[in-house]
Amino acid sequence: MFKFFVSVIILVCTLLSADVNDFRFEVITTRNGLSDNEISAISNDGRGFIWLGTNEGLNRYDGYDVTVYNSNPFDATALSGNRIWDIYKDTSGDIWALTDKGLDRYIYGKNKFRRFRTESRPTFVTQDFEGILWVATENNGLYSINKETGESKNYIFDPSDPYSISSNQFDQEQFNPIVVDTSGNLWVGTLNGLNYYHKEKDFFQRFKSAGNPSEPNYISDNHINTLMVRDNDVYIGTPRGLDKLHIGDFSITHYAGTQWFSALNSYSVNQILDFGSQASMAGFWVSTTTGMVFYNAAFDMFEDLAWDYLFGQYIKSAFVDPSGNLWIDVLAFPGLVHFNTSSFFANSGLFNETDFQLLQPNTEGVLIKVVEPESISNAEVNDLFIDDFKNIWVGTQMGLNHLIKSTKSFVSFTSESSKIKGANIRSVKIAKDNSLWISHEKGLDHLSDNQNLIKHYTSDPTNINSLLTEETNALAITAD
């Protein structure tokens, strides 16, 4: 949990979306305790920590201190490898680190890891509605892991079995190659075909390309770059186009050259992202090798997001934040493009030049606004993550950037103005339910998320279940 050390009064800061003209980032590097400046992956957990993957181990950041976890060949409960390719947070808030050798689950309370070998580097992890983890690997097929029992199963391509998975190969360039539809069905996109997993009968149904991207009831290409579920359809992005597979009857619609007409005659899709729940307009984003495209569901049409520094550019990745704004990583230059989508959604796809901001790292690695992008070596963006508190974290080759968001106004709670029993505040912690625990010279207070006093804890020599002393200092919130 993030640490806050204040005295005399508690300062509670309300966090809102940052003003588009006032981005302020702070950078965290090896000088702050990170094991390596190149951040490969970012996640948070269900207990308030930020987890960072590097080439030199796994880092846990609590807002103040960094704890580093490394591999140890003599300790089977340590990480299985120091190179962390990605980090996955499951639905229980547990953290899984993807290493060269497999998947490692962090065991809270014991400060150890449980290893699950995959015999090939894992590239992607997701979880179905029943809590089973599904793991794609570079060349050893698909794994399922039952978190509760620890059992795992490997699904591999068998040329003699038409109901086996269509390929053993996945790669790290794929976005969401495994998705779960609204009925709980599993769809798996490999480097050689799309697969629908019939869980009740334990077999795969394959969907392949006929060689012609416009051939009906075939997907446009066997190389699956990305998948997205929307309503009762699966959207499939490939190097040769965008397809929609209707789950009810498995009919396939091809968009490239029929409803989507690229100005550059290029239809290679890298990523598909829904506009998000905050958008007042239905549709989705499509990252391509020649720019950003959007689908307007109201008009059933595709259009280019024709801004100068995006049009014609290879889009490495894009992210939608909780406000519906878009963060875009462009191959041609390091840094990020931020697109404030407020007027875009309000005006059915129209935008202003001022809606875009270019952010690039300075010599210290801090992301700052620039007018025109510059070529900067060893400053690429590796990951962007938005935590449960809507904080934005950007991992680059130069360190970790944290977007500072604040109204710059504070609300003060003192023993005179509120129900807090003490004045000298020693420590503050935020629990998983967003309630506050506050230690001070008169004991311990538990406040609700709207700052109402739930209970005051103090020392009582006649009660063995009370505090040992009223003088309380640092707090720690742990889990079983």
Residues 6+ away with beta carbon under 8 Å from 241: 213, 220, 221, 254, 255, 256, 257, 260, 267, 269
Structure tokens at 84: 């962390």
Specify which residues 57 forms β-bridges with: 54
CA-to-CA distance for 347 and 253, rounded, in angstroms?
A: 28
Question: Please, are residues 131 and 148 in contact by the beta-carbon 8 Å criterion?
Answer: yes
Question: In the prediction, which pLDDT does 9 show?
Answer: 26
- State whether the Cα torsion 131-136-142-147 is positive or negative: negative
Determine the 3-state secondary structure of 190 from DSSP.
strand
- State whether the Cα torsion 393-395-396-401 is positive or negative: positive
Question: Please, are residues 396 and 379 in contact by the beta-carbon 8 Å criterion?
Answer: yes
Question: Please, are residues 206 and 194 in contact by the beta-carbon 8 Å criterion?
Answer: yes
Instruction: Please state the domain extents for the chain.
Output: 1-16+411-480, 29-117+376-405
The dotted CATH code for 29-117+376-405 is: 2.130.10.10
Q: Could you give the angle at the alpha carbon of 204 between the alpha carbons of 202 and 209, nearest 5°? A: 180
DSSP H or E stretch at residue 346: helix 342-346
CA-to-CA distance for 150 and 132, rounded, in angstroms?
A: 10
CA distances, 405 to each of 17, 28, 389 (Å): 6, 16, 11
Residues 6+ away with beta carbon under 8 Å from 380: 334, 396, 397
Q: What share of the chain is helix, strand, coil (3-state, %, to 5)?
A: 0, 40, 55
Which DSSP symbol is given to 345? Answer: H
Low-confidence ranges of the chain (pLDDT < 50): 1-21, 407-410
CB atoms within 10 A of CB 34: 21
Question: In the prediction, which pLDDT does 278 show?
Answer: 84
CA-to-CA distance for 105 and 111, rounded, in angstroms?
A: 11
How large is the greatest C-alpha to C-alpha distance in the chain, in angstroms? 82
Question: In the prediction, which pLDDT does 46 show?
Answer: 81
Among candidate residues 295, 345, 309, 302, the one with its CA nearest the CA of residue 325: 345
Question: In the prediction, which pLDDT does 380 show?
Answer: 81
Question: In the prediction, which pLDDT does 448 show?
Answer: 82
Determine the 3-state secondary structure of 154 from DSSP.
strand
Question: Please, are residues 478 and 429 in contact by the beta-carbon 8 Å criterion?
Answer: no
